[in-house]
Structure 1
Amino acid sequence: MTHSIPQSRSRNPMWLYEHNYALLRGLFPLLLSGEQEGWQGKIGHQELCLRVVERFRYTLTLDVHCRLRRQHRLLGDFVVSVRVYEDAGLAEVLDYQHLGRRQPVYPRRDPRQMQVAEKDQLNRLFRDWLNVINLGLRNAGQGVTVDV
């Protein structure tokens, strides 16, 4: 058989949202369960601040702010808003660098200079960032293993 599950999942964006949720749930379980309203800490050269902005029965919105302690003029802070869907087990990026919500797809010649698949790229960036945080925690003996 030529098709496999990973091949078919790579075409569907939901695997990315599921993976982001699983990483968030593994890294910050008290935050997502409602036992904490925020989390601050240092991991490597990063100062992290996660804050619950909205909490409803099945969803919550997180603001994530990451600042590099060794500030470089070319690297700004990493700031995202993430909507977490507890009932569906999904986490999606709503806002990046305070630029507002993104459409799923933009036309080729967008006047605001958005990329065609900007929302997908932001969710991939968030996944990569979560993996970096997990790697930093794992090096300190606190990382998580995620099975999606």
Structure 2
Amino acid sequence: MRKMGYKVDLVNQQAVCEANYFRLCKLLPGDTDDLRRIAVSQGNYQGILTLKVVERCKYTSVISLIHDAEWGEWAVTPLMSVRVYHDVQMAEVISVQKQRHFAAKYSYPNPHMFHPDEKAQLNRFLADWLAFCLEQGHLYEPVTLSS
């Protein structure tokens, strides 16, 4: 029996991108805030998510998400760029670890060994990550001591 290939579920992908838009709006509210740091912790895990607006246009923005955590040398700190479409209220991953331009569907195997649904997985990862930050996060404000 032949295995069925991956089919893009456009409705589901749009729903994930819409939810990501609203999660990002909660984490980075307003049209003038270009930087927000969110501290997250659960159990022994502690990290800081930095959201930085790197491009702001009339209908779109690009937000860089950098997750700083004490994971040691065994794990790479996630670095992600997200394009926010304000007119249609959607947000999608456009780069991860400086890798750009993800296709909606890949044949498998492929030269980069991407999953057939790589783009969908990246947007679902973003959804999980943002949901975790909304549930467990709080604003990170460094304390300055005055003399």
- State the distance in 1 between where 2:71 and 2:93 align: 24
In the alignment, which residue of structure 2 is the partner of 1:51? 52
Instruction: Decide which structure has greater helix share.
Output: 1
The structural deviation recorded for 1:60 is 0.3
In the alignment, which residue of structure 2 is the partner of 1:12? 12
Question: Alignment identity in percent?
Answer: 28
Equivalent residue of 1:48, what SS? strand
In the alignment, which residue of structure 1 is the partner of 2:104? 104
In the alignment, which residue of structure 2 is the partner of 1:35? 32
Alignment of 1:45-84 (within 5 A): 45-68=46-69, 70-84=70-84
In the alignment, which residue of structure 2 is the partner of 1:144? none
Equivalent residue of 1:106, what SS? coil
Equivalent residue of 1:80, what SS? strand
- State the distance in 2 between where 1:42 and 1:125 align: 18
The structural deviation recorded for 1:28 is 1.6
- State the distance in 2 between where 1:76 and 1:108 align: 25
Question: CA RMSD of the aligned region, Å?
Answer: 2.0
Contact 2:27 2:134 survives alignment (8 Å): yes
Q: Which has the larger radius of gyration?
A: 2
The structural deviation recorded for 1:11 is 5.1
Instruction: Decide which structure has greater strand share.
Output: 2
Q: Deviations over 1:34-89 (max 9, x none)?
A: 21111224222112211111111010000110011x22333221110000001100
Equivalent residue of 1:84, what SS? strand
Q: Size of the alignment, in residue pairs? A: 127
> Which TM-score applies when normalising by structure 2?
0.79
Q: Which runs of 5+ in 2 are unaligned?
A: 1-8, 140-147
The structural deviation recorded for 1:10 is 8.7
